[in-house]
């Protein structure tokens, strides 16, 4: 995994997060949207840790 793939990955996750929020506000798929937010939160945390590790490994 290179340094350029991680920001793209985070960008895709943020788009998914925004989509989940829109779904939540429309009251459709509320449970699915909440689950998506939890999953995306975990993935963002994981990817940010990987991102920091790649920076640390690069230095």
Angle at 48 between CA 16 and CA 28, to 5 degrees: 20
Contacts of 44 (CB under 8 A, 6+ apart): 10, 13, 17
DSSP secondary structure of 9-31:
HHHHHHHHHHHHHHHHHTTSSHH
Report the domain count for the chain. Answer: 1
Give the percent of the chain with pLDDT over 90: 0
| Residue 1 vs residue 7, higher pLDDT | 7
Q: What is the pTM of this model?
A: 0.43
Question: In terms of residue numbers, what domain contains 48?
Answer: 5-58
């Amino acid at each position: 995994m290179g340094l350029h793939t991680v920001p793209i990955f985070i960008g895709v996750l943020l788009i998914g997060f925004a989509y989940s929020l829109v779904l939540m506000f429309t009251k459709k798929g509320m449970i699915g949207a909440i689950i998506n937010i939890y999953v995306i939160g975990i993935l963002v945390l994981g990817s940010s840790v990987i991102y920091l590790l790649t920076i640390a490994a690069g230095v």
